[in-house]
Amino acid sequence: MAFIEQISEDEATGAIAQIYATAQKRAGGVANILKVMSLDPATLQTSMQFYLSLMKSKNALSNQRKEMLATVVSHVNDCYY
């Protein structure tokens, strides 16, 4: 199993601490995918902006369809998180 160094919630400072706090408010916790990108705050911030743009803004798909598609893609890719 691979190991990816990450910054824990207790160790987070600066931009990472702010991103973690926002995630905590929005989702009730910090997802592992955020922690995996924590060593590169700029990439993490860009990734979050992309995700929010796709999943949380108004577009042609309903919120339910967006979540359904994300679930199906995760299942097909054997990605259970």
Q: 17-49, pLDDT tens digit by residue?
A: 999 999 999 889 999 999 999 999 999 999 989
What's the confidence (pLDDT) of residue 3? 87
Report the distance separating Cα 42 and Cα 39, nearest Å.
9
Is the pLDDT confidence value at 80 over 90? no
Report the distance separating Cα 73 and Cα 1, nearest Å.
22
Q: What is the average pLDDT across 11-21?
A: 95
Report the distance separating Cα 20 and Cα 30, nearest Å.
6
